[in-house]
Amino acid sequence: MNVTLFFTIFYSMVGIEALVLIPFLLNYKSLDFSSRCIFFYILSCIFFAGGSVLVERYIGNNMWFFSLMHFIQFVILSVFFYRSIPNPTMKNIVKYMPFLLLAIFIFDLFFIEGVRAFNSISSGVKQLVVLTYGLYLFLQLLRDRNLIEKSIYIDSLPIFWYNSGIFIFACTEFLFCISYNHLQALFTTGVARMGMTIAILSINYIVGMISMILLYIGFSKIKKLRHANY
Amino acid sequence: MRIIDVIVIGTTVMLMLGVIVILLVMLQQKMVIQHKLDIRDKDLQLQRERLIAVLQGQEQERKRIAEDLHDEVGAQLSVLKLNLGGLQPLLKTGNGETERLKETKDFTDTIIQQLRFISQSLHPQALENLGLAHALDSFCNLMNKNKQVKIAFKTAGNGQTVDREKALNVYRVVQELINNILKHAQATDVLITYQTTPSLLTVTVEDNGNGALLTSLSASRAKTGSLGLKNIESRLNIIGGNINFTPGTPQGTIATISVENYQTPAQNS
């Protein structure tokens, strides 16, 4: 795969993230707590995307930066899920999970895979936990008696679209995360081709764009709810 | 198969699975809500059918009582009046018997009049024989005989006949409105206007009262046990009509009843 095309996809994704961030930023004061979490999530995406380029240019290896990105994004998403999931037991799990993940991240970064390699274990665990949260929230929304009683369709809720964006990105990233460390090893030994690695990354970035569009749909649903005097 | 191929295929499969999960969640919730709405619709339909059955039963009972009153009690009272008339030549004069008999005859007349009024109110015969406009006109005449309020009737129709069930319900609604005006509005004049176009029947009941009808209506809307307004709304709901209350100028209240497609299905087509 052409490297220029890869960078075009990467910068397009960052561009879309920036575009999606604008309406959130303009309406920040009127956003509810979940939407504010999503705002910070998008902000972190832009920050870490730009940051990774800068770190790579001025420091060289930027793999440790990805670990940091994964952990901070996990904290932001945990806050989002903590506020969105009503079940008290699950709430407690969501509340304490970042501490466990922090331990795994530190252990992986300093003792297992190292700062110069992609931390597949910690990022894989992170994606798996986010996937579980996403599925749980879907089930919770599906069972919500209040929504059914009031005949509120799930796709009219911002939270559904936010969760869809997060879930679909976690689905795509999961396999990439758990295997990228291995791919790096193969790449350095010359077994793997650069083209395929770039192809996998490109798929992730494209899904990243789709996920941003889903988050924007969620934002547009807040506007509709506000117009409907909810 | 190389590991990269596995990752590419796996990622695509995961992406597709993610999309499927989202779509399934959306569809499942929509189906559940749709099912719930269907059940609610069926419930409403059942309630509507029950209401229709209750009202029909009520009308049948009213008809039976009206016919009994008119045909039996009315006939007996007429015989009594005739008998009283027959007694007149037999009475001795000078002791006030003639005057007392005349008083009794007048009293019998009043009872017959009131009986007719009750019978008419219970079941308007004119509605079946002459149609809604004539029945309303006859109702106004009947009310004018008995009450202090002057009720005028104005028609601007083109003579299209109203479906029997719809006519009966509109008649009952007008009756209920007049009752409300007599009870609450302190009006001296009431005007009932009857208008028809090929697709719309409009009956306006206008009074020059204190406008208290509007406030009493909004208060009874909030109350759960208010039968008058509930009856009006239920009857109009059954025939697909609606009622609108507006303040009159300079005073009073204007109630506008409108019913679309009021003609019998055969006439509509």
Q: What is the DSSP letter of B92?
A: P
B1 touching chain A per CB within 8 A: no
Q: Which of B10, B29, B37 sits opposite A175 (nearest CB)?
A: B10
What is the β-pairing status of strands B150-156 and B189-196?
A: parallel
pLDDT at residue A20 in the model? 93
Q: What is the DSSP letter of A2?
A: -
A72 touching chain B per CB within 8 A: no
- B11, burial (CB in 10 Å: exposed 0-12, middle 13-18, buried 19+): buried
pLDDT at residue A40 in the model? 95
Mark which residues 114-143 of A lie under 8 Å from B by CB. Answer: 135, 138, 141-142
Mark which residues 11-40 of A lie under 8 Å from B by CB. Answer: none
- B269, burial (CB in 10 Å: exposed 0-12, middle 13-18, buried 19+): exposed
Are the beta carbons of A172 and B32 separated by less than 8 Å?
Answer: no
Mark which residues 169-208 of A lie under 8 Å from B by CB. Answer: 170-172, 174-176, 179, 182-183, 186, 192-193, 196-197, 199-200, 203-204, 207
pLDDT at residue B224 in the model? 56
Counting every residue, how long is chain B? 269
Smallest Cα–Cα separation from A132: which of A182, A187, A77, A83? Answer: A77
List of chain A residues whose C-beta atoms are within 8 Å of the C-beta of residue B44: none
**Does residue A16 register a pLDDT over 90?**
yes
Please report the sign of the dihedral spanned by the C-alpha atoms of residue B249, residue B253, residue B259, residue B264. negative
Rounded to an integer, the average pLDDT of B23-28 is 88
pLDDT at residue B225 in the model? 52
Q: Which of A141, A148, A170 sits opposite B33 (nearest CB)?
A: A148
Cα separation, B129 vs B211, whole angstroms: 35
Cα separation, A178 vs A182, whole angstroms: 8
List of chain A residues whose C-beta atoms are within 8 Å of the C-beta of residue B29: 141-142, 147-148, 153-154
Tens-digit pLDDT profile for residues A96-152: 999 999 999 999 999 998 888 888 999 999 999 999 999 999 999 888 888 888 888
pLDDT at residue A44 in the model? 94
Rounded to an integer, the average pLDDT of B61-67 is 88
Tens-digit pLDDT profile for residues B91-143: 766 677 788 888 888 899 889 888 888 888 888 888 878 888 888 888 888 88
What chain B residue is nearest to A168 in terms of C-alpha separation?
B18
pLDDT at residue A230 in the model? 40
Cα separation, B98 vs A148, whole angstroms: 80
List of chain B residues whose C-beta atoms are within 8 Å of the C-beta of residue A172: 11, 14-15, 18
CA distances from B16 to A77, B2, B268 (A): 22, 21, 54
pLDDT at residue A213 in the model? 94
For chain A, the average pLDDT equals 88
Cα separation, B79 vs A52, whole angstroms: 111
Maximum CA extent, chain B? 134
